[in-house]
Every structure is written in C-alpha cells, then in structure tokens.
Amino acid sequence: MALPTPVLIKDSILTDWVLIRSGGFGEIYKAKHLLWNYEVAIKLLCNDDGSSSSLLREVEMMRQGSSDYVLPVLGVFKGRPLNSGSSEQLGLVMKYMEKGSLASLQKTLDKVPPLPLVFRLAHQVALGINFLHSLPTPLLHRDLKPSSVLLDSYLNVKLTDFGLSKPSQTQAPASKKDKGDGGGTINYMPPEAFDLNYKPSRTYDIYSYGILLWSIATGEHPYAHARPSIVASLIPKGHRPSLEELNIRAADQGELRGLVELMIKCWKNRSTQRPSSLECTKITEKLYQMHEHGINDAVHEVLKKLEQMEQDRLTEELQWLRVTPAKD
C-alpha cells in the first residue's frame, strides 16, 4: 500500500521563525503554523544536488519509519525561509520537540541524568531502532548519536536525522553505490564500516547503539579529544570508550552493570556477535522496569534543573542589558 503524498507547506503559512540548530547538514528552524496553530520544526539542507533529491529521500525514509519513537514528517516545506534571500528552498516539516536533543540536554546538564531516566532513554531508543529494523524491508538509521535523539516536553524519545538511512542489504548484494559508503559519524561507526567492501546491515545500528548507551550512561562524548583520523584507525583494532568510571559506579548501582554488559555486546568487533534490536529492547525493558517507579521524580528533577538554568540565563542577559551603555 502506497503512502499518501506528504502535505506541501508554503512559507506564507509559517510565522515567527527562529533558528534553533545549524551545522554541516544545514539549518533547523522553529516556526508557528498559522492554520494548525502550533509550532513545527523545519529542516533545510545545505548539501543538496540541486534537485533536492537527498531531502526528498529523507522524507521517504521518515515516512516509512513512522512510529511512537521515530519523529514523524508532517509535510514538505517549499518557499523562502526568513532572511534566506530570494532563492526558494525545500525542507522537512516535523513535530517540534520542546526539549531539543539528547546532545543539548547533556551539554546543559553537564552531568549524568538520574538512573531511571538513563534506563528509559536507553529503552526508548532501542524501541525506535527495533521498529525500523522490523519493517518488511528493514530500515537502517546509520547515524545514531545524541543529536539524533530528540526529546519532548516530558523527555520521551523520538529518533530523527534520516539523511543517511537506507534499506538493509543483508539479503541482497551490495551495489557499487553502497560499497565504501560508511556514512554516519566516525565516533559511532562500527569497524566494518571502514572497509571498502562494507555492506550495510542492521548490525551497524546495533554498534552505534552500544556507543550511544555509553554516552547516555556517562553524559560524555566518545573519543571527545581525539582526531577523527586516529579514531578511524583505532576502532577496527578493538578500541572502545573507557569503562573505568562506569565500572566504579556499577559497584554501587548494580543495575548499571546490566547496561554496561549490553553496550559491550553491542560494540563487539565481529558484527555477528552483536545482539539484535529486539534483544536490546528486552534487556533495557527489564532494566527500566526496575526503576520505573522513580521516573516521575527523575524527569521532574531534570526539568526543574533545566528551568532554573534557563531562568539564570535570562537573568544574566537582563543584567548585561542594564549595564551595557546604549550606542547612539
């Protein structure tokens, strides 16, 4: 059954544009849809081939992978974004996630979230991956990392960034186009992805998930101070992020040991030794159920901290405006 054509959303129906994120991929804005009367996110790509094929391909991947734990695409933007000049652009229109990404949460908190939230994040990401991998034609994400994990107002997960997604090649030979296409972010890429004869499979995402678990549990970025070329040479040799801190914490927090054991299985050098996404959901479900009773307090603790930090930021800005002399 064919999916319905995505809604075309023109610039005339969007107002209050605010840039919320930019990078090598392009820019993401927040804007209010005048007819829907709520805020949406608009993703504009800067690296396209002139026909917008990469963006339309991402739309198709997101539409195939729509679930409770995967960010839905609401439509395709066509028009001139605020301050963009005279050129017309295409973009993705998506649900606006109030609390940003896991990456922004980590940067703001500068510490590990409470353990119940750690386990819920781990479980919900696994549910999202498992949904993609369980489609009739399994869909590979291939760019799992903290910035690909978006959070709603209650810190629930939805996966995004499907620019590198593609159907699994496990049951078909890799095409010439696929060979050598490692994709992804080097620090989260599996060792086999650095091989020119690499054939994309679901085990790619499982490896990335293992590294992502480490980031969720430590609040840090893997190989944060290493050059990409060094990381690319060490990963195939079996080097992984340090477990020293997690092992110390696991001595006092026994359930954390289960999460450490899972990440070690996920980042095995041999892809055939990694667990399936379904196994990951079952393991993280058990870990989360042990702490589910504390999730409300954990979420409220983090939200209160975020609110206080935002208030402090606004107060600091206001004080700066009061002491800065006006310019003629």
Per-position DSSP letters for 236-271, written without gaps between them = GGT-----HHHHHHHHH-HHHHHHHHHHHHHT-SSG
Q: For the chain, 328 residues long, give each residue's pLDDT as a single digit of tens.
A: 445 566 888 888 999 998 887 766 678 889 999 999 999 998 887 655 445 555 566 566 655 556 789 887 888 888 877 666 657 777 888 889 989 999 999 999 888 999 999 999 999 999 999 998 988 888 888 889 999 999 999 999 999 876 554 555 543 333 333 333 445 689 999 999 998 888 888 999 999 999 999 999 999 999 998 999 999 999 999 999 999 999 999 988 888 999 999 999 999 999 999 999 999 999 999 999 999 999 999 999 999 999 988 887 788 777 777 666 656 5
Say if domain 8-95 classifies as CATH 3.30.70.20.
no
CA distances from 19 to 23, 26, 302 (A): 11, 11, 24
Neighbours of 217 (CB within 10 A): 24
CATH architecture of 102-295: Orthogonal Bundle (1.10)
Neighbours of 265 (CB within 10 A): 16
**Tens digit of each residue's pLDDT (9 = 90 or more) over 159-183:** 987 655 455 554 333 333 333 344 5
Residues taking part in catalysis: 143
Give just the sign of the alpha carbon dihedral 75, 32, 29, 69: negative
Fold match between domain 8-95 and domain 102-295: no
Q: What pLDDT does residue 57 have?
A: 60
Q: Are 241 and 217 in contact (CB under 8 A)?
A: no
Beta bridge partners of 19: 29
The domain ranges of the chain are 8-95, 102-295
User: Which residue in 223, 244, 262 sits closest to 118, CA to CA?
Assistant: 262
Q: Are 301 and 293 in contact (CB under 8 A)?
A: no
